[in-house]
Amino acid sequence: MTDLQPIGIIHTPFTEPAGMPIQPAGAAGIRGRVEVYDAYRPGLKDLDGFSHIVLIYVFHRSEGYMLEVVPFMDTEPRGLFATRAPRRPNPIGLSVVQLDRIADGMLHVRNVDMLDGTPLLDIKPYVPDFDGCAPVRTGWLEQARKVVRKKRSDNRFQ
Amino acid sequence: MTDLQPIGIIHTPFTEPAGMPIQPAGAAGIRGRVEVYDAYRPGLKDLDGFSHIVLIYVFHRSEGYMLEVVPFMDTEPRGLFATRAPRRPNPIGLSVVQLDRIADGMLHVRNVDMLDGTPLLDIKPYVPDFDGCAPVRTGWLEQARKVVRKKRSDNRFQ
């Protein structure tokens, strides 16, 4: 149905899936740059007032999917939609990153957890009233989340 | 590039854009149902352990876009990417909703802010460590967010 066109490209230190942080919380402080293509730059006005932004992007190195996966933080198969695994029916990724500054259409960000060269689909301002964050239950991740900051990926989702 | 196929459809009380809550915070308590198509239902396993989920969907009634818009909560034009307006280069929406229960591939959720019939692209578990929520600056929304709970949409983004 909807045909997507990248509006930019995300530059990070991660050139291969193996060894990446598996989420922004594990990527604390790691810097990246979000290059927004010329045609879309007028849309960046006012974005520098936000300390955090939501990046929506394509898992461009993921092919196919399985509906149950063993997540990095677990040893049991879990339903795919109860995980953030990159191989999904629609391989769309979502990360909240910290925005340090914008210069010449380049967003300097922190806490990146995506591959270098990732196609950018959208940028949204992060707003706690919209996106967060009452007390929540986090299912199978309750135990696992304590270790997520230290986990790194392997090749299982390539 | 990436061709998307809906994995389900979102049912809400909102049949027309005018009069909708403009974000989940303004949709507090409003119930909806997320119908996941048969083929994808095995992927819902373990999802019921999560109190909140992220829905990724298509703004299927939005056509075209402008790179500056006057948001519902404001009187000045803002850069599109500093807003959550539905008309975007890639019309992808993102909402955090509360998950009450799952029965027969139907997710019963609360705090819906999307149109009835919205095509569903992905479901991800909401995890505060990943998606939230340090102290943040929210730019032009700082003042506006105080009123967002009461705001309703008009026709400007149709």
Cβ distance of A46 and B82 shorter than 8 Å: yes
The fold for domain A8-150 equals Elongation Factor Tu (Ef-tu); domain 3 (2.40.30)
Distance from CA of A86 to the nearest CA of B (A): 11
pLDDT in tens, A30-69: 999 999 999 999 999 999 999 999 999 999 999 999 999 9
Q: Give this complex's ipTM.
A: 0.87
Q: How many CB atoms lie within 10 A of CB B42?
A: 15
Sorted by where each begins, the domain ranges of chain A are 8-150
Q: Which tokens hold the place of A38?
A: 């010329």
The per-residue pLDDT for range B47-69, each reduced to its tens digit, is: 999 999 999 999 999 999 999 99
Inter-chain touch B82–A51, beta carbons under 8 Å: no
Mutate to test the interface with A, among B62, B90, B137 (most CBs of A within 10 A): B90
Instruction: Inform me whether the pLDDT recorded for B122 exceeds 80.
Output: yes
Closest CA to A137 of B47, B10, B29, B106: B47
CB contacts of B40 in chain A (<8 Å) are: 67, 81, 89
Among A53, A81, A122, which would you mutate to test the B interface (most chain B Cβ atoms within 10 Å of its Cβ)?
A81
Which of B52, B94, B137 is closest, CB to CB, to A50? Answer: B137
Asked whether the beta carbons of residue A136 and residue B148 sit closer than 8 angstroms, the reply is: no
Least CA distance to A38: which residue of chain B?
B67
Q: What would the two tokens of residue A83 be?
A: 């995980």
Q: What is the mean pLDDT of residues B134-150?
A: 64
Are A125 and B82 a contacting pair, CB within 8 Å? yes
Name which of B155, B151, B52 is nearest B95 in CA terms.
B52
What own/partner pairs with CB < 8 Å and gap ≥ 24 does B141-147 have?
Answer: B141/A125, B141/A127, B141/B73, B142/A49, B144/B71, B144/B73, B144/B74, B145/A127, B145/A129, B145/B73, B147/B73
- This model's pTM is above 0.90: no
In the predicted structure, residue A74 carries a pLDDT above the cut 90:
no
Residue A146, token pair as written in the block: 């304590």
**Band of pLDDT at residue B43, cut at 50, 70 and 90:** very high
Q: Say whether pLDDT at B124 is over 80.
A: yes
Residue B105 has pLDDT above 80, yes or no: yes
Contacts of A7 in chain B (CB under 8 A): 89-90
**Which residues share a beta bridge with B99?**
B109
A89 CB neighbours in chain B (<8 A) are 5, 7, 40, 122
B72 min Cα distance to partner chain A (Å): 14
Query: Which residues of chain A neighbour B9 with C-beta distances below 8 Å?
Result: none
Question: Among residues A138, A121, A135, which one has the least CA distance to residue A23?
Answer: A138
Query: Is A1's CB within 8 Å of B5's CB?
Result: yes
